[in-house]
C-alpha cells in the first residue's frame, strides 16, 4: 500500500478511528497495530507476509533462547543472523549473484532460479535489519527479550515504517509499545506537520522532478551537454532526498498520532560542509545501524589508522550493496568510502569552519562528491555512469540545465529552502504569539492545497525497491 494512494487514505482513516478507542488497553492496541500492519504489507503481495512472520518468529525465539540458555547464545545469534541474511540473499541477491557467476564461469544458474525468488519483497532490507538489531542487542545484553509475541510483531511490522524505514531499534521502540502512550495535543499537531511536510516533499517536489531524471537517465543516448547532466544529477539528488525524507516524515507523523516517537532520519544533508557531516544527516537510522552493527564490531578506528580505513571501506561497500543488488550501488558505496578516506587523511573539509569562504569551499567540495556518487547510484550500468561523468566534466555542449519552466520552479523551491537552512535564515524568521500560530496554520493549509493541485504524477517511493 502506498502512502500516496486513496486506498491508504481510507486505511489510515479506519485505523485511527479504531485506534482512539484502544485507550489504555495495550493488548488490543498491539493486536490492532499488528493486524493493520499485515494488511498494509499484504496489500502489495500477501505471499510475502510469510517472510516477515518466518524471520520474525526465528528472531523472537532466538532472542528468548539467548537470554535463557547463555551457554549457547552465540549459536542462537548465528542461527538468527543466518536466517535473516539467508532470506535477504535468496530474495534480493540470488539474481545478482547467479548472473555474475554465469558471466564468470559461463554457466546458466540464473535461468534455474524460480521466478518467485527473483521478486524482491518490498522493504525486505528494512525489516530484516530491524529484526537483526533486536537479536544482536539481546546477545550483547543491551536489551531484555520480550516474551510477548504480539508486542514483538507490532514492533517488527509497524506499518508506518515497515517498507521504507526509518529503521527503529528494538531498544527504542519496545519500551514505547509496552507502556500506555497518551497522544498529547502537541503530538497531534506535530504529527500533522510532519505528515503535510512529508506529502509535500514526496508529491510536489520529488514527483515533479522525476520526469527530468527519467528523461535524462532512461534515454539510450547520453546527451552531449555538460550543463544538462549537472542539471539532471542535481534534480536526482533532490528527487531521492525529497522522496525518502518525505516518506520518513509521513512515517514519523503517523507514529506521533499513535503516541510513538521515531527518530529523525534526514537533517538537510545537502548543507553539509564535510562528508562525515553528510553521513550524520543522510538516512541517519541506516548510517547509525551500519556504524553500530558493522563498523564498530569490525573494530572501528580503534585498531590503527589503516584498519580504520579498511573498516570504513567495508562498511560503505556493504551499505552500497544494501541499497541494491548491482555493481552501480557497490561503486556508489566505494566512492563514498574513497572520498571519506581522503577527507580523513587531509582533515579537510570539516564541519567546523570559522571562515565563511572556507565553509563555502568545503560545502562545494562535498556537494560535487555527493553528486558524482549519485551518478553511479542512478545510472543503468557502470559504463553508463562513466559516460555521463565524462560529459559532466567535459564542460561543453548547450547552456541548458534541461529543467524546463516547470522543473525550474520546483528546483528553485527546494534549493531556496536549503539555502535558508544553510544560512540560518529559517531560525531568524520567528513570528511569536497568536500571529505566529495563525501564520503557521495558513502555511500548512496552503501546503495542503498545493499538494492537491501541484502534485506530480504519482509514483512509488524510490526506497521501496531497497
* Catalytic residue IDs: 323
Q: Is 171 exposed, middle or buried (0-12, 13-18, 19+ CB in 10 A)?
A: middle
Question: Which stretch in 17-25, 279-287, 325-333, 453-461 sits in contact with other proteins by CB under 8 A?
Answer: 453-461
Angle made by CA atoms 327, 329, 332, in degrees to the nearest 5: 110
Any residues with CB less than 8 A from the CB of 252 and at least 6 apart, and which?
160, 166, 191, 194, 198, 262, 264, 265
CB of 129 to other proteins, least distance (A): 30
| Residue 437 found at the interface with other proteins (CB under 8 A) | yes
Give the binding range for other proteins (CB under 8 A) out of 56-64, 127-135, 180-188, 349-357: 180-188
Using alpha carbons, select from 382, 398, 399 the residue that is nearest to residue 390: 382
16 binds other proteins (CB under 8 A): no
Cell 532512461: give the residue: 218
Q: Determine, following the binding rule CB under 8 A, whether residue 198 of this chain makes contact with other proteins.
A: no
| Residue number, 171 or 455, with CB nearest to other proteins | 455
Q: Mind giving me the DSSP string for 143-198?
A: SPPP--HHHHHHHHH-GGGTTT-----HHHHHHHHHS-----HHHHHHHHHHHHHH
Per-residue b or e along 101-123, where b marks 16 or more CB atoms closer than 10 Å to that residue's CB? eeeeeeeeebeeeeeeeeebbbb
CB of 225 to other proteins, least distance (A): 22
**Sole window of 24-32, 118-126, 186-194, 240-248 interacting with other proteins (rule: CB under 8 A):** 186-194
Applying the rule CB under 8 A, the residues between 387 and 406 that interact with other proteins are 404-406
**Residue 189 near other proteins by CB under 8 A:** yes
Q: Which of 200, 162, 220, 167 is nearest to 42 (CA)?
A: 162
> Which segment (110-118, 184-192, 220-228, 349-357) binds other proteins by CB under 8 A?
184-192
The nearer residue to other proteins, 370 or 411, going by C-beta atoms, is: 411
Counting contacts by CB under 8 A, is residue 185 touching other proteins?
Answer: yes
Secondary structure percentages of the chain, helix, strand, coil, to 5: 75, 0, 25
Alpha helices by DSSP H, 259-304: 275-281, 284-290
Q: Is 44 in the site for other proteins (CB under 8 A)?
A: no
175-191 burial, b at 16+ Cβ within 10 Å, e below that, comes to ebbeeebebeeebeebb
342 lines the binding site for other proteins (CB under 8 A): no
Total number of residues that touch other proteins (CB under 8 A): 25
Q: For residue 448, state whether it binds other proteins (rule: CB under 8 A).
A: yes
Residue from 188, 215, 267, 341 touching other proteins (CB under 8 A): that is 188
CB of 434 to other proteins, least distance (A): 11
Cβ 259 vs Cβ 284: under 8 Å = no
Least Å from the CB of residue 271 to other proteins: 26
Residue 9 near other proteins by CB under 8 A:
no
Residue selected from 268, 309, 384, 455 as contacting other proteins according to rule CB under 8 A: 455
With respect to other proteins, which residue has the nearer C-beta, 10 or 425? 10
**Nearest distance, CB of residue 226 and other proteins, angstroms:** 26
Q: Please tell me the number of Cα atoms within 13 Å of 266 on its side-chain side.
A: 24
Distance separating alpha carbons of residues 286 and 291, to the nearest angstrom: 8
CA 342 to chain CA centroid, Å, is 26
Q: Considering the complex, what minimum distance in angstroms separates the CB of residue 406 from other proteins?
A: 5
Cell triple for 189? 499537531
Does 431 participate in binding other proteins (rule CB under 8 A)? no
Q: Which of residues 308-337 bind other proteins (CB under 8 A)?
A: none
Q: Does 165 bind other proteins (CB under 8 A)?
A: no
> Site residues (CB under 8 A) for other proteins?
6-7, 185-186, 188-189, 192, 404-406, 409-410, 437, 441-442, 444-446, 448-449, 452-456
Amino acid at each position: 500500500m502506498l502512502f500516496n494512494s486513496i486506498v491508504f487514505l481510507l486505511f489510515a482513516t479506519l485505523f485511527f478511528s479504531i485506534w482512539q478507542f484502544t485507550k489504555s488497553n495495550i493488548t488490543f492496541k498491539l493486536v490492532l497495530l499488528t493486524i493493520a500492519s499485515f494488511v498494509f504489507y499484504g496489500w502489495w503481495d500477501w505471499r510475502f507476509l510469510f517472510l516477515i512472520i518466518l524471520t520474525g518468529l526465528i528472531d523472537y525465539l532466538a532472542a528468548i533462547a539467548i537470554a535463557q540458555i547463555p551457554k549457547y547464545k552465540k549459536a542462537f545469534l548465528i542461527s538468527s543472523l543466518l536466517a535473516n541474511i539467508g532470506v535477504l540473499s535468496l530474495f534480493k541477491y540470488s539474481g545478482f549473484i547467479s548472473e555474475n557467476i554465469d558471466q564468470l564461469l559461463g554457466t546458466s544458474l540464473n535461468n534455474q532460479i524460480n521466478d518467485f525468488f527473483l521478486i524482491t519483497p518490498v522493504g525486505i532490507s528494512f525489516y530484516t535489519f530491524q529484526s537483526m538489531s533486536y537479536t544482536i542487542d539481546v546477545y550483547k545484553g543491551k536489551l531484555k527479550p520480550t516474551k510477548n509475541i504480539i508486542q514483538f510483531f507490532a514492533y517488527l511490522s509497524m506499518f508506518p515504517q515497515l517498507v521504507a524505514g526509518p529503521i527503529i531499534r528494538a531498544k527504542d521502540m519496545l519500551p514505547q509499545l509496552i507502556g500506555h502512550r497518551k497522544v498529547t495535543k502537541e503530538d497531534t499537531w506535530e504529527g500533522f506537520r510532519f505528515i503535510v511536510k512529508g506529502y509535500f516533499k514526496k508529491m510536489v517536489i520529488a514527483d515533479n522532478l522525476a520526469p527530468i531524471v527519467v528523461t535524462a537517465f532512461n534515454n539510450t543516448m547520453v546527451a552531449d551537454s555538460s550543463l544538462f547532466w549537472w542539471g539532471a544529477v542535481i534534480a536526482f539528488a533532490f528527487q531521492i532526498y525529497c522522496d525518502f525524507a518525505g516518506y520518513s516524515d509521513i512515517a514519523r507523523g503517523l507514529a506521533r498520532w499513535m503516541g510513538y516517537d521515531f527518530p529523525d532520519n534526514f537533517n538537510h544533508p545537502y548543507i553539509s560542509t564535510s562528508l562525515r557531516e553528510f553521513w550524520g544527516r543522510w538516512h541517519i537510522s541506516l548510517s547509525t545501524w551500519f556504524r553500530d552493527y558493522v563498523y564498530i564490531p569490525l573494530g572501528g578506528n580503534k585498531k590503527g589508522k589503516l584498519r580504520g580505513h579498511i573498516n570504513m571501506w567495508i562498511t560503505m561497500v556493504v551499505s552500497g550493496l544494501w541499497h541494491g543488488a548491482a555493481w552501480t550501488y557497490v561503486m556508489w558505496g566505494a566512492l563514498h568510502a574513497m572520498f571519506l578516506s581522503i577527507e580523513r587523511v587531509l582533515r579537510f573539509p570539516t564541519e567546523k569552519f570559522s571562515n565563511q569562504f572556507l565553509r563555502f569551499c568545503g560545502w562545494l567540495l562535498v556537494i560535487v562528491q555527493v553528486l558524482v556518487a549519485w551518478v553511479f547510484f542512478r545510472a543503468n550500468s557502470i559504463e553508463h555512469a562513466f559516460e555521463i561523468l565524462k560529459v559532466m566534466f567535459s564542460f561543453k555542449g548547450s547552456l541548458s540545465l534541461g529543467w524546463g519552466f516547470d522543473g525550474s520552479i520546483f528546483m528553485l523551491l527546494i534549493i531556496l529552502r536549503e539555502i535558508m537552512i544553510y544560512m540560518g535564515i529559517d531560525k531568524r524568521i520567528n513570528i511569536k504569539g497568536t500571529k505566529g500560530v495563525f501564520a503557521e496554520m495558513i502555511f500548512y493549509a496552503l501546503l495542503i492545497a498545493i499538494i492537491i493541485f501541484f502534485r506530480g504524477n504519482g509514483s512509488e517511493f524510490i526506497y521501496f525497491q531497497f
